[in-house]
Structure 1
């Protein structure tokens, strides 16, 4: 079920919050008909870190994608389509295996007991539940942990929406992929036609020899040697730079200073009204016209991503004022934005992003000035020499005990008020087992912050999905209105232009 997925236009800063790829993100296929998506058996250091940090339940990296459908697909056809997807993308049949004696880096391996029946569920909303009932169900699904002994995904087909509509609630671990990788996956799996396609490749189920203790030991040694080789390569590069010791010392110092900024929380103090934290998630959504949001950013020399973040900041300013804490114009708030660091040598899928930490101008009332200031600060954050230093640090941290990793990870993220992500989506019509996908809402995890708000473009609509900590937001309905008003004041820039 291949599908064409266009990319958003405009100058942005990365796949999650940055410049979205202008090429078709559909992954290529191998000679066996399978998508060349996440084929590596090894977790990166960053993925292993995300996996180990889940020792703290509040740091779970569960992602939930809610796709609304114009009709309820035939169940048997939906099951067959998912079985096909698990053969075309073997990662769907793989689980994470802990290394021998729990030391070293976890890796992917085929689940010998893979059972599609476990991963697929079907529910029907009670009469009158409607859209609100759908997202309440999605919240409950998201807060239920995935089984770590199985492949890290579940798919629930939800019927009973008004006018015969339905929805797919697709739950997966962030360890599987970042936002750009997920966009690549959906581009390769969703169909462009409502009718079944008879020319799809039909690879057999993936197979692999059973794991043995000697084989696992060899794998671990090979993995360790790879880390040693990478460190040696870095040392050789450093030695070569000593031809100009003055330049080497200067560059090394600048890099270390940059790494300290990148790996530390933003210096801005958190908002007082968002101080509480809990393990409870609440979902809210908003639809925004893509063309209008892009025009709003362009009207003041910014991008669609600048306009998006400025809209979110407007919502937080409004919410803080309504909760009794009006913010001065120079007030900043701590924000983190995942930025794509994908390179040509990276395979499609997986996680290739770095956190850009921002002291964001939440106190600015004028939306045009706020967009401009967001753009200026984003340029500074993206110019950090050590932006990718998280990949270096995570390789070592991932080998520490889970409790230690969770303590480090939680301390680095709990001071954030907001994490914001902007993900490329499907611009052309796409279908799932004969049902047209009308909207796509990506609810990313809450790693200790008060809010994780993601936006994906589906057709001509920006689907905004807010995952909010129920303890941080005492007035969820009020913030939902503030979110709409925050976008409204930014969209007005484009209308005036």
Structure 2
């Protein structure tokens, strides 16, 4: 049974989503490494629609969304002289006219033209002086269809948090909902050198409080020094595994990098992918990753570099660390870096191997140790941060992400949403391939570095074949 991801609401109707004014250390790090164009964290969700939305309703709905989720009216403020942690503040000059756009494709345009436009929109940087999102309604698709291009920064939220936001904003009916809550626009946030100092002191005192609790915990552990030493050694060993790059060397055919993105999509039946995961003693997620590995094995062979069966490739996967106490929205994930079995020709064996490796990554005691490092890194000079970010992700071939989508039918200003393709950012890797379930279909969105994957149409065929051999297990 599908779980409704809609976040709860406050008494005034606002979504309890992404309300903390402080960026986490990980979010601050993502924000600062964007000085390198190859490390931009732009996300683009392409939602296909069965007809063009009513424009007046679309404008009203977007204004309503910015009041129901006030983070959509907030921008990131860097403290005076760059000292301290960036934070969210209401933009006193919020302009819906800037954030919501519409355009029409030329006569005769098709789906390929839509995704060419989507590539160009995704590669255009967001304005850092404004709230970090834009929405573009695209009309002129065949049979009267349309699309919404929703662009936002990953600093706003991870995939699960974005699903929660869209669940709270999209309508369940074509008809207007006149009785929905109408919260007022958020009040401007006080900003200035004094406010920055007070805010930073409060944040640092919070860190000191956490450190004090850690010291008290360590003092209690002295009652059992043998256990404390053993647990500390195990945690350090786990942290080394979590924070170190996977030992697998990158694939030579994917060696080049550029700031250019290219998109490819694929629709996969959810029931068959789930059945394939079970057939391989795994899950939907392990079947998804196994299919991607099959695609890269084919691509490498076609490019003249056939892979031995024991060949591994470096893959990063976000693992959610959300629990019931966490508020909706924001970023609550840990990057798990794997050496993945790209050379295994048997899809069932590949699913089982991936499942085992992902489970081991989830069970690491120090899975969230990246949060211990990022608050410090977020205060390092920007040039060093950029170099660090490039070094940690440049040797990665693939990032793969799978998140649940919205159950049931959803509508946007009278238009039914047919598909939703989540194109996630390329932080220095060769490919970022994400999948979201939409009804009974898994929407696969591949963001490919144009310098790393030079035969785009060939890779699209390899991707379909990689999923085909996995789905045959069902």
Same fold (TM over 0.5): yes
2:267 is equivalent to residue 287 of structure 1: yes
**What's 2:284 paired with?**
304
Give the Cα separation in 1 of the matches to 2:246 and 2:451.
22
Q: Which residues in structure 2 correspond to 1:299-338 (within 5 Å)?
A: 299-338=279-318
**What's 2:134 paired with?**
154
* 8 A contact 2:89–2:189 mirrored in 1: no
Q: Structure 1, residues 217-246: CA drift from partner, whole Å, max 9, x if none?
A: 211111111122222222222222122112
Q: Which residues in structure 2 correspond to 1:136-155 (within 5 Å)?
A: 136-155=116-135
Structure 2: gaps spanning 5 or more residues: none
**Number of positions where the alignment pairs a residue of Structure 1 with one of Structure 2:** 474
Give the Cα separation in 1 of the matches to 2:373 and 2:190.
33
Give the Cα separation in 1 of the matches to 2:385 and 2:221.
33
Give the Cα separation in 1 of the matches to 2:220 and 2:379.
29
* 8 A contact 2:92–2:188 mirrored in 1: no
2:309 is equivalent to residue 343 of structure 1: no
Q: Structure 1, residues 255-283: CA drift from partner, whole Å, max 9, x if none?
A: 11111111111100100100000000000
Which one of the candidate residues 195, 219, 226 is aligned to 2:175? 195
* 8 A contact 1:453–1:465 mirrored in 2: yes
Q: Structure 1, residues 163-222: CA drift from partner, whole Å, max 9, x if none?
A: 000000000000000000000001101110000011100111111354243222211111
Give the Cα separation in 1 of the matches to 2:277 and 2:195.
54
Structure 1: gaps spanning 5 or more residues: 1-5, 8-22
* 8 A contact 1:124–1:159 mirrored in 2: yes
Tell me by how many angstroms 1:368 deviates.
Answer: 0.9
Tell me by how many angstroms 1:42 deviates.
Answer: 0.7
Q: Structure 1, residues 110-165: CA drift from partner, whole Å, max 9, x if none?
A: 00000000001111111222100000001001100000000000000000100000
Give the Cα separation in 2 of the matches to 1:320 and 1:224.
49
Q: Which residues in structure 2 correspond to 1:371-450 (within 5 Å)?
A: 371-450=351-430
Alpha carbons of 1:368 and 1:209: their partners in 2 closer, same or farther (altered >3 Å)?
closer
Residue range with higher mean Cα deviation, 259-268 or 157-166 = 259-268
Specify the SS of the correspondent of 1:493. Answer: coil
* 8 A contact 1:54–1:402 mirrored in 2: no
2:82 is equivalent to residue 102 of structure 1: yes
Q: Structure 1, residues 420-464: CA drift from partner, whole Å, max 9, x if none?
A: 000110120000000000000000000000000000000100000
Give the Cα separation in 1 of the matches to 2:167 and 2:189.
31
* 8 A contact 1:335–1:417 mirrored in 2: yes
Specify the SS of the correspondent of 2:473. Answer: helix
**What's 1:167 paired with?**
147
Give the Cα separation in 2 of the matches to 1:140 and 1:255.
44
Give the Cα separation in 2 of the matches to 1:320 and 1:450.
13
Which one of the candidate residues 423, 448, 453 is aligned to 1:468? 448
Give the Cα separation in 1 of the matches to 2:308 and 2:196.
58
Specify the SS of the correspondent of 2:367. Answer: coil
2:217 is equivalent to residue 237 of structure 1: yes
* 8 A contact 2:4–2:407 mirrored in 1: no
**What's 2:246 paired with?**
266
Tell me by how many angstroms 1:373 deviates.
Answer: 1.1
Specify the SS of the correspondent of 2:120. Answer: helix
Q: Structure 1, residues 341-396: CA drift from partner, whole Å, max 9, x if none?
A: 00222110000000111110000101111111111111211111111001111111
Give the Cα separation in 2 of the matches to 1:141 and 1:449.
20
2:151 is equivalent to residue 176 of structure 1: no
* 8 A contact 1:427–1:460 mirrored in 2: no
Specify the SS of the correspondent of 1:218. Answer: helix
Give TM-score, length-normalised by structure 1.
0.94
Specify the SS of the correspondent of 1:389. Answer: helix
Give the Cα separation in 2 of the matches to 1:233 and 1:51.
29
Q: Structure 1, residues 22-73: CA drift from partner, whole Å, max 9, x if none?
A: x421100001110000011111111111111112111010000000000001
